[in-house]
Amino acid sequence: MKPTIRDVARMANVSISTVSRVMNAPETVVEDKRERVLEAIKKLQYQPNAFARGLIYKKSNTLGVMIPDVENPYYAGVLRGMQDSAVKLGYSLMIFNTDRNKQRTVDYMRHLYEKQADGVIFASDVFHQEYYEAARHYQIPIVLVSTNSQEFEVPSVDIDDEKAAYDAVKYLIESGHRNIGMISFPFDDSISGLPRYQGFKKALKDFELEDCLSQVSFANHRFEEAYDATQQLFSRFPDLTAIFASSDEFAMGAITYLHEHGIAVPEQVAVIGFDDIRMAHMFIPKLTTIAQPVYEIGQRSVEKLHELITQGKVKNLRERLPHKLVIRDST
């Protein structure tokens, strides 16, 4: 069996904390004890590991990342930014797929506490009170990414979803469209649902196109649901000339439906997405979309969590990064 730090302490007749000090700050240990510990390490061929160090310092240099759906391509860029920032700051990441399940999420918080994770990044979902209470109970520093909480004082990194949606719809209107529909996330189970609809609504009102306000169909999170939502939208509003989709995956679902039903994009119907995932410029037609700085969002979330862990607070509680409109072939 592989020797442990406890075995070293027992052989040297010292405490575990003394063994740890010999390994990390030998000058703080008196010579007699230091020599006994070094001799025990040599005899046992002990190799200290991260978990053993965590037992001593209550620190594992590990961060938990909670994502609602790891299959969603949006998270590829976010995770890359997180990973690069974590390596730079000396952390490892543990990824958890929550499926937006409350009990599973709370269980993951407990698991991370038991593993002595230094902090948690919580992504793209409503930050329910149960999550806040779990973080407080386990005393785990937490940062929200691609979501935020107005109810709780929890640090976050995201964009202004309402303003970004407004810019997307404004672009369609200024391109000459007067009959615009939307494929939206549900308002009650996605942090992006209501703000992006509010941006859609505000743009229509500012340009006196209130007749379009009801031209909305809903999908949860996937391509197939957006395909069905497009069918529902056109069954009710067959004269639409443009669609604002709340995600690039939704935009791809909409374009696929339109293509299969002989409706040309963008000649007959323009489609604009949201996120600018990698596939946005690979898809045909290439997607016009609102680009989120996904890499920077991931990067800043780890940096902010590190700031919270090491200093106990952050300078900028609710940080918003800039978005931009990227015009391609689908409009």
Same domain, 264 and 244: yes
Give the pLDDT of residue 78: 96
- Percent pLDDT > 90 in the chain is 77
Indicate the residue among 57, 73, 96 that finishes a domain: 57
Same domain, 126 and 110: yes
In a domain, 76, yes or no: yes
Indicate the residue among 57, 77, 92 that finishes a domain: 57
Give the pLDDT of residue 29: 87
In a domain, 331, yes or no: no
In a domain, 224, yes or no: yes
Tens digit of pLDDT for each residue in 257-266? 999 999 999 9
Give the pLDDT of residue 22: 82
* pLDDT band per the 50, 70, 90 thresholds, residue 41: confident
Which residue range(s) make up the domain with 18? 5-57
CATH of the domain at 19: 1.10.260.40
Same domain, 255 and 307: no
Give the pLDDT of residue 58: 57
Give the pLDDT of residue 5: 85
* pLDDT band per the 50, 70, 90 thresholds, residue 60: confident
Tens digit of pLDDT for each residue in 62-115? 999 999 998 999 999 999 999 999 999 999 999 999 999 999 999 999 999 888
- Percent pLDDT > 70 in the chain is 95
In a domain, 327, yes or no: no
Tens digit of pLDDT for each residue in 100-157? 999 999 999 999 988 889 999 999 888 999 999 999 999 999 999 999 998 999 999 9
Same domain, 224 and 165: yes
Tens digit of pLDDT for each residue in 268-317? 999 999 999 999 999 999 999 999 999 999 999 999 999 999 999 999 99
Give the pLDDT of residue 145: 96
CATH of the domain at 318: 3.40.50.2300
Domain count along the chain: 3
Q: Which residue's entry shows tokens 């969590």?
A: 305
